[in-house]
Chain A
Amino acid sequence: QQPVQSPQAVILREGEDAVINCSSSKALYSVHWYRQKHGEAPVFLMILLKGGEQKGHDKISASFNEKKQQSSLYLTASQLSYSGTYFCGTDYHYGGSQGNLIFGKGTKLSVKP
Chain B
Amino acid sequence: DAGVIQSPRHEVTEMGQEVTLRCKPISGHNSLFWYRQTMMRGLELLIYFNNNVPIDDSGMPEDRFSAKMPNASFSTLKIQPSEPRDSAVYFCASRLGRPDNEQFFGPGTRLTVL
Give the number of residues in A that approach B within 8 Å (Cβ atoms): 26
Q: Are A100 and B48 in contact (CB under 8 A)?
A: yes
Q: Are A30's CB and B42's CB within 8 A? A: no
Please report which residues of chain B, range 37-69, place their CB below 8 angstroms from some CB of chain A when the two chains form the complex.
42-45, 48, 50, 55-56
A62 sits at the interface (CB 8 A): no
A30 near B103 with CB under 8 A, answer: no
Bound-state Cα–Cα, A43 to B104, Å? 7
A9-17, A19-27, A66-74, A101-109: which one contacts chain B? A101-109
A55 within 8 A of B: yes
Q: Which of A40, A53, A99 contacts B99 (CB 8 A)?
A: A99
Inter-chain contacts of B43 with A (CB < 8 A) = 42, 87, 103, 106
Is B103 a contact partner of A49 (Cβ separation < 8 A)? no
CB of B75 closer than 8 Å to a CB of A: no
Assembled-state Cα–Cα distance A29/B98 (Å): 13
**Complex Cα spacing A106 to B50, Å:** 26
Interface residues in B59-114 (C-beta closer than 8 Å to A) = 91, 98-108
Given the interface pairs A41-B91, A99-B55, A102-B45, the reply to whether A30 lies near B106 with Cβ below 8 Å is: no
Scoring A49, A91, A102 by chain B CB atoms within 10 A of each residue's CB, the highest score goes to: A102
Q: List 21 contacting pairs A-B, 8 Å CB cutoff, sorted by A.
A: A29-B99, A30-B99, A32-B102, A32-B103, A44-B102, A47-B100, A49-B100, A55-B102, A87-B43, A97-B99, A97-B100, A98-B99, A99-B48, A99-B56, A99-B99, A100-B48, A100-B56, A100-B99, A101-B33, A102-B45, A103-B42
Contact residues of A with B, CB < 8 Å? 2, 29-30, 32, 40-44, 47, 49, 53, 55-56, 87, 91, 97-106
